[in-house]
Amino acid sequence: SQRVKIKQILLSDSVNYEVTVKGWVRTFRNNQFIALNDGSTNNNLQVVVNEADTDPAVFRRITRGAAISVTGQIVPSLGAGQKVELKTATLEILGDCDAEVFPIQPKKQSLEFMREIAHLRFRTNTFGAVFRLRHALAFAVHKFFNDKGFVYLHTPIITASDAEGAGEMFRVSTLDPKNPPLNENGDIDYKEDFFGRATNLTVSGQLEGELGAMAFGDIYTFGPTFRAENSNTARHLAEFWMIEPEMAFYELKDNMDLAEEFIKYVIRYTLDNNREDLDFLAQRLAEEEKQKPQAERSPMGLIEKLEFVLNNEFTRITYTEAIEILKNSKPNKNKKFQFPVDEWGTDLQSEHERYLVEKHFQKPVILTDYPAAIKSFYMKQNDDGKTVRAMDILFPGIGEIVGGSQREENYDKLVRRMNELKIPVEELYWYLDTRRFGTAPHAGFGLGFERLVLFVTGMTNIRDVIPFPRTPKNAEF
Ligand code: 4AD
Ligand code: MG
């Protein structure tokens, strides 16, 4: 008979039909009941085996973790907890598993421990739900932009430029690190390297994205990006996925409107299509919250938190307004910020961002018009001569989830700014060409995909929402 996914069997009310299911044994109880999981859902299919009818050599090998194939009838279940079960006609062991040494135990195991066995953690309910949601969000991202007529542009992973001008790049080289060729100054001679020049892993696809927007009008990228910043936090990865839409003829306000609509759309998509996994994670989070002292508990559950974001407009204020609020605020009764905000121009730390969204406004906030000195070279300069048309979206529990801006479309102003910041103008001639040949107002933003997945799943460490986290001193598997 045909192989059927467990999710499909459990969604349907039909009984008395034959199926084949294949999956992994989660538990085997009373020598009779197998809880079988095939990854399509967290709900296991109860498989009933009759020891008397089973070859003892096969029966012995039904262990936690083993891969099996079962054919039989789907029948109404007499036991509580499930409507249907599979009555085994034939059972085949596909792959044995020694349950004594299998690290996934049928009890609660810490997320820290799971990170050490990240190669096996997909086989737990928590990570099953997290990574199915991650998939659903990725699908919703493509659906949102496709429905709006955006072109998905694949920008390069290996590049010679530093899109953010922050110097946080991983070098890509095939030169012998112990004995690299040197030039007359004694520096490594990258002319001898694979590409004939120094190259890095991309920190952002934005600059190439802008080239696309200047032809297709609306594009987006969605790919891995890399940052060699030594930030060992629960919000930073060395390899993360970023979604970067770039739109011709957009100004900052259009950019903010699109970003807000986009975030709401993908959250709505998961509420409409992935409720089972969201409910599972909501339950998980509620249990975690119960462990905390009353005062530290979140007033909202996961589903409420998601619905709250959908039902409220994001607050939009300028950096200058935010500084005024922060100057006059005490984060905790008498405690000051660790980094006091005393003058205009200082970059906001995550404690300030979180104060604004979690305490002051208690909802997502879009901060605009930052000082030019703390933002990237490509942002459109305001007439005040000190701020740029930047926008950062800050989320409760996350901090910065989006960074974006209107771009400087004026060739002379852009070149002047690049020179001030010692950005190599000649090397970026291809980028500047967009400003020479039919330049137009345009804007875009970058959303950190893992930060979005963190928010939607209610997980708290970014290492738990990417299948294979890359962080300082960690690239094991
Ligand atoms: O603010 P960032 O650096 O902006 C850019 O890269 C622009 N080129 C985007 C654009 O306008 N097209 O990064 C954008 C977002 C951040 O808001 C954050 O969500 C995420 O990327 N991000 C990271 N996520 C995980 N780990 C890191 N190390 C991250 N660095 C940035
Ligand atoms: Mg940023």
- Any idea what the CATH number is for the domain that residue 59 is in? 2.40.50.140
Question: Residues near 255 by Cβ (< 8 Å), separated by ≥ 6?
Answer: 247, 391, 404, 405, 406, 443, 444, 445
Ligand at minimal distance from the CA of 451 is 1
Nearest in space to 468 (alpha carbons), one of 230, 132, 221, 117: 117
Residue 333 in this model has a pLDDT that exceeds 80 = no
Of the candidate ranges 307-321, 336-350, 364-378, the one whose mean pLDDT is the lowest: 336-350
Any atom of ligand 1 within 6 Å of the Cβ of 445: yes
Residue 246 in this model has a pLDDT that exceeds 80 = yes
What is the Å distance from ligand 1's center to 244 Cα? Answer: 9
What is the Å distance from ligand 2's center to 163 Cα? Answer: 12
Average pLDDT over residues 267-283: 98
Q: 119-124 contacts: CB < 8 A, separation 24 or more?
A: 119/477, 122/39, 122/467, 123/24, 123/37, 123/65
Any atom of ligand 1 within 6 Å of the Cβ of 245: no
- The answer to whether residue 78 is domain-embedded is yes
Ligand at minimal distance from the CA of 235 is 1
Q: Is 213 found in the same domain as 67?
A: no
pLDDT at site 334: 61
Ligand at minimal distance from the CA of 379 is 1
Nearest in space to 136 (alpha carbons), one of 48, 287, 245, 266: 266
Of the candidate ranges 58-62, 104-108, 173-177, 317-321, the one whose mean pLDDT is the lowest: 104-108
ipTM of model: 0.99
What is the Å distance from ligand 1's center to 402 Cα? Answer: 7
Nearest in space to 238 (alpha carbons), one of 256, 226, 252: 226
Two tokens, residue 259: 């970003």
What is the Å distance from ligand 2's center to 369 Cα? Answer: 13
Other beta carbons less than 10 A from residue 208's beta carbon: 22
Condensed to tens digits (0 to 9), the pLDDT of residues 20-50 reads 999 999 999 999 999 999 999 999 999 999 9
Out of 207, 231, 242, 463, give the residue to mutate to test ligand 1, the one with the largest number of ligand atoms within 8 Å of its CB.
242
Q: How far apart are CA 362 and CA 305, in angstroms?
A: 11
Ligand 1 atom at minimum distance from 227 CA: 28
Residue 357 is given by DSSP the state I
Average pLDDT over residues 381-399: 97
Q: How far apart are CA 455 and CA 451, in angstroms?
A: 6
Confidence label for 230 from pLDDT (cuts 50, 70 and 90): confident
pLDDT at site 330: 80
Two tokens, residue 469: 């986290």
Give the H or E element holding residue 400: strand 399-406
Tokens 């901090």 sit on residue: 399
Residue 221 in this model has a pLDDT that exceeds 70 = yes
Question: Residues near 404 by Cβ (< 8 Å), separated by ≥ 6?
Answer: 255, 259, 390, 391, 392, 443, 444, 445, 446
- The answer to whether residue 263 is domain-embedded is yes
Query: What CATH code is carried by the domain that includes residue 281?
Result: 3.30.930.10
Confidence label for 207 from pLDDT (cuts 50, 70 and 90): very high
Residue 114 in this model has a pLDDT that exceeds 90 = yes
Two tokens, residue 119: 């190669």
Condensed to tens digits (0 to 9), the pLDDT of residues 130-180 reads 999 999 999 999 999 999 999 999 999 999 988 888 879 999 999 999 999
Other beta carbons less than 10 A from residue 108's beta carbon: 9
Cβ atoms of residues 252 and 368 within 8 Å: yes
Bridge partners of 91?
70
Q: Is 301 found in the same domain as 207?
A: yes
Q: Is 226 found in the same domain as 98?
A: no
**Domains contained in the chain, number:** 2
pLDDT at site 41: 98
Any atom of ligand 1 within 6 Å of the Cβ of 396: no
Q: Is 137 found in the same domain as 77?
A: no
Query: Which residue lies with its CA nearest to atom 31 of ligand 1?
Result: 448
Question: Would you put residue 195 in left (φ > 0), alpha (ψ -120 to 50) or beta?
Answer: alpha
Residue 94 in this model has a pLDDT that exceeds 90 = yes
pLDDT at site 167: 79
Last residue of one domain, picked from the residues 102, 117, 142:
102
Cβ atoms of residues 123 and 106 within 8 Å: no
Ligand 1 atom at minimum distance from 209 CA: 12
3-state DSSP assignment of residue 383: coil
- The answer to whether residue 225 is domain-embedded is yes
**What's the first-to-final CA gap in the chain, in angstroms?**
37
What is the Å distance from ligand 1's center to 15 Cα? Answer: 50
Q: Is 318 found in the same domain as 207?
A: yes
The parent domain of residue 382 ranges over 125-168+203-464
Nearest in space to 163 (alpha carbons), one of 431, 417, 386, 347: 431
